[in-house]
A and B are shown apart, each in its own frame.
Chain A
Amino acid sequence: MSAGSIFAVTGLTKSFGEGETQTLVIKGIDLSMAAGEMAALLGPSGSGKSTLLTILGTLMRASGGTHTMLGVDLMHASEAQRTEFRSKNLGFVFQFHHLLPDLSALENVMMPAAAAAGRETRAMRQRATELLDAVGLADRREYRPAAMSGGQRQRVAVARALINNPVLVLADEPTGNLDRESADQVMDLIRSINQTMGSSFLISTHDEHIAAQCPRRIELLDGRIIRS
């Protein structure tokens, strides 16, 4: 792991199933990212983009290889340690917003922080308000997800990914469900956050237009990196 990199995987593999039906999906990946970097993850459907993001996000364990982040050996960490690590250092944006329907926009943004602390604090509320302002939803704080548009929901989801000041935000097709205009809004937002807050972003996408907005391009094909 070179100096300044936040995570590194080497020889990373992932297979699903047992015996006869076992299929190797990630076939030996070496990859690292620097602090503050913003990268697009491209590849045809089924090439393993979501699987790689899920492993990097500690939501799933790799089958082989090494995985370290911020000096922590995540391959061999316990499930509880990985949960805590995830809460402190990682943020997620998914193709579907997955906001909690019973909570307001502001409460949704606070959720990852409140879940870790066991309570909602004034500081969290303050930070969540700033983030909602930053994503241009200052006037939608008290709205429930059902009362917002798809693009607005996805911007709330981006704000939520940032509440714990994550070192790395993993975004799996964050604009996949949005029209061009909303997609551009979300990408503008991610880029400005990347520049102002310094969080690294790894964004999977099928969309060359989106990829073109990212300084770095990582291409996957059939479980292998063909360009990084």
Chain B
Amino acid sequence: MSPYALKLAIRHLLSHPGQTALLMAGVALGVSVFIFMSALIGGLATLLTLRTVGSIPHVVLERPDRDPAILSPGASARVVLQKDLSRRDQIAIWQPVLPIIEGTPGVTAISPQIRGSAFVERGQAVAPVGVIGVMPGKLSAIADIDAAIVDGSGSLPADGILIGSVLARDLGLRVGQVVRLSSDRARARSFRIGGIFTLGIASADRQAIYMNFTTARALFDLSTGISRIEIKVEPAIGAPGVAERLRRSTGLKATAWTEDNKQLFEGLDAQARTGTIIKVFSLVTIIVGIASAMLLSIVRRQSEIGIMRAMGASKGLVISIYVLEGSLIGLIGAIVGAAAAWLVLLPLPPVSQVSSGDLPIDRQQGDFLLAITLTTIAAMLASILPARRAARIDPVEAIGA
């Protein structure tokens, strides 16, 4: 790429300002489509992930499974481990585990829980519920129950419970009323409804009941153990890694939220692929546009190219001129398009604050540099074919000597 090739390329572009501007505008449009798609697909993924992971635990620690299993498969002697039904599914020794979890990078919240099944009885009406016993101060560690309270308060005295709004409606319950809970451990006692919450998740609003950790311990007849430890991590997408570390460091069964949400990831993946196809098409459009414009301009400048070749210009010089010309159109068009896209996306709110109905466009995920790089490379590739064709022009034919 000689300085002379660059000079001639720039001179050509400047000599036809209208055509140059039009080509660059086309490239800029393609680039902004590319960036817009990246930002939209990325923003959608972020939004869906945020919505999904917002109120669920990212990693759940439980007692390891003791399911029946064949040990050492393939060996001639079969050794079978049978499920141990004599013990409760509980984490018996859990206090020493908490500091280990707290010390694990990425963990942002921990909630040891006692869980169990129970029935709510009110008069003749009976409804099955899942009881979640949480430690004081940990009510909103996983799902923000405090913020979801629509009636009453989120404090959990020993005889208080919080119920979901759907359950409240079904059984006609209100804050301050007393209901009876009988657990699957055949224990029963009365509770006062301290608050009603609406999480927006149907199953939780219908079946979840929050109560004090200590009260739950008594209701489910657990002397020391707990049912599970729920954990939040940051970023949520790092949950599988954290789960793997915890599995090794605690020996407990660790389940990341990603394992239970395969569909979400399939959906996000399909979305990303759709975005990739659109981006590839925008690049192909740029390539086709630049290649055809350059071919036309080379036909028009046939005699100029011929005279240069006749005067001793090498094929390499001719190729350089046209590849540089195409690359410059690509580079400048891409920068203009990226800058325009940046300005257009600038006033949009961050994805976490997008109101429903608006597109969740995340400028951070706009892939600006990638778009500029790919476009410039595409433009360069697009100009190689026309440039080689220019270099093959026969000076004698072109000059018509």
Chain A residues close to B by CB (< 8 Å):
50, 53-54, 57, 59-60, 80, 83-84, 86-88, 90, 92, 94-96, 98, 100-103, 111-112, 114-120, 160, 164, 172
User: What is the total number of residues of chain B having a CB less than 8 Å from a CB of chain A?
Assistant: 28
For residue B310, which residues in chain A have a CB less than 8 angstroms away from its CB? 57, 59, 86, 92
Closest A residue to B3 by beta carbon equals A119
From residue B188, how far is it (CB to closest CB) to chain A in Å?
A: 95
Bound-state CA distance A60–B307 (Å) is 14
B4 CB within 8 Å of chain A: yes
Interface 1/0s, chain B 352-369, versus A by CB < 8 A? 000000000000000000
Q: Are A87 and B312 in contact (CB under 8 A)?
A: yes
Would you give 24 A-B contacts (Cβ < 8 Å), ordered by A? A50-B401, A59-B310, A59-B396, A80-B314, A83-B309, A83-B312, A83-B314, A86-B310, A87-B311, A87-B312, A87-B313, A88-B312, A98-B304, A98-B306, A98-B307, A102-B15, A112-B312, A114-B4, A117-B4, A118-B4, A118-B317, A119-B2, A119-B4, A120-B7
Q: In the complex, what residue of chain A is closest to B312 when comparing beta carbons?
A: A87
Name the residue on A nearest B395 (C-beta): A59
The residue in chain B whose Cβ has the minimal distance to the Cβ of A170 is: B401
Residue with the greatest number of chain A CB neighbours at <10 A, chosen from B2, B307, B308, B396: B307
* Chain A nearest CB, measured from B263 CB (Å): 60
Q: Please, how many angstroms separate the alpha-carbon atoms of A112 and B311 in the complex?
A: 5
CB distance A164 to B396 under 8 Å? no
Contact in complex: A98, B312 (CB < 8 Å): no
A94 touching B399 by the CB < 8 A rule?
yes
Q: Which residue of B lies closest to A86 (CB)?
A: B312
Cβ contact of B307, chosen from A57, A86, A90, A100, cutoff 8 A = A100
Complex-state Cα separation, A20 to B98, whole angstroms: 97
Residues of the A chain whose Cβ atoms lie less than 8 Å from the Cβ of B53: none
Q: Tell me the smallest distance from the CB of B313 to a CB of chain A, in Å.
A: 4
Which residue of chain A has the shortest Cβ distance to B16 in the bound complex? A102
Q: What 1/0 mask marks residues of chain B from 374 to 401 whose CB sits below 8 Å from any chain A CB?
A: 0000000000000000000001100111
Whether the pair B401, A94 counts as a contact (CB closer than 8 A) is yes
User: Is B12 positioned at the interface, with any CB of A under 8 Å from its CB?
Assistant: yes
- Chain A CB within 8 A of B5 CB: yes
- With A and B bound together, what is the CA distance between A103 and B304 in angstroms? 11
| Known A50-B401, A54-B396, A119-B4; contact A101-B304, beta-carbon cutoff 8 A | yes
- Closest CB in chain B relative to A68 CB, distance in Å: 19
Whether B285 sits at the interface, judged by CB under 8 Å, is no
Complex Cα gap A64–B169 (Å) = 105
Quick check: A100 and B4 within 8 Å, CB to CB? Answer: no
Residues of B within 8 A of A (CB): 2-5, 7-8, 11-12, 14-15, 303-304, 306-315, 317, 395-396, 399-401
In the complex, chain A residues whose CB is within 8 Å of the CB of B3? 118-120
Contact call A164/B11, Cβ cutoff below 8 A: no
Task: Give the docked Cα–Cα distance between A50 and B304 (Å).
Answer: 19
Q: How distant is B56 from chain A, measured CB to nearest CB, in Å?
A: 65
B315: chain A residues within 8 A (beta carbon) = 83
Contact B312 A164 (CB under 8 A): yes
Task: Provide the residues of chain A in CB contact with B314, threshold 8 Å.
Answer: 80, 83-84, 115
Instruction: Assess the A115–B15 pair: CB atoms within 8 A.
Output: no
Task: Contacts A115-B317, A172-B401 given; indicate if A60 touches B312 (C-beta within 8 A).
Answer: no
B residues less than 8 Å from A83 (CB atoms):
309, 312-315
Is the beta-carbon distance between A60 and B317 smaller than 8 angstroms?
no
Interfacial chain B residues near A114, Cβ < 8 Å? 4
Name the B residues within 8 Å of A116 (CB-CB): 312-313
- Cα(A40)–Cα(B248), bound, Å: 97
The chain B residue sitting closest to A97, CB to CB, is B307
Residues of chain A contacted by B399 (CB below 8 angstroms) = 94, 96, 98
* CB closest chain-B residue, reference A114: B4
Nearest B residue to A160, CB-CB: B311
New A-B pairs, 18, CB < 8 Å, besides A83-B314, A114-B4: A59-B396, A59-B401, A83-B309, A86-B312, A87-B313, A88-B312, A95-B401, A98-B304, A98-B399, A100-B304, A102-B14, A103-B11, A111-B308, A116-B313, A117-B4, A118-B4, A118-B317, A119-B4
Report the separation of the CA atoms of residues A59 and B11 in the bound assembly, to the nearest whole angstrom: 27
Q: A98 to B317, Cβ gap below 8 A?
A: no
Whether B308 and A115, one on each chain, are in contact in the complex, defined by CB atoms closer than 8 angstroms, is yes
Residue of B nearest to A91 (CB): B311
Q: Which residues of B contact A50 (CB under 8 A)?
A: 401
A84 to B316, CA, bound (A): 12
Q: How far is the CB of A52 from chain B (nearest CB, A)?
A: 11
The answer for the CA separation of A111 and B395 in the assembled complex, in Å, is 16
Q: Please indicate the chain B residues that have their CB under 8 angstroms from the CB of A102 in the complex.
A: 8, 11-12, 14-15
Question: In the complex, which residues of chain B have a beta carbon less than 8 angstroms from the beta carbon of A92?
Answer: 310-311
Q: How far is the CB of B302 from chain A (nearest CB, A)?
A: 11
- Return chain A residues, CB-CB under 8 Å to B311: 86-87, 92, 111-112, 115, 160
Chain A: which residue is nearest B5 at the CB level?
A118
| Complex interface: chain A residues within 8 A of B2 (CB) | 118-119
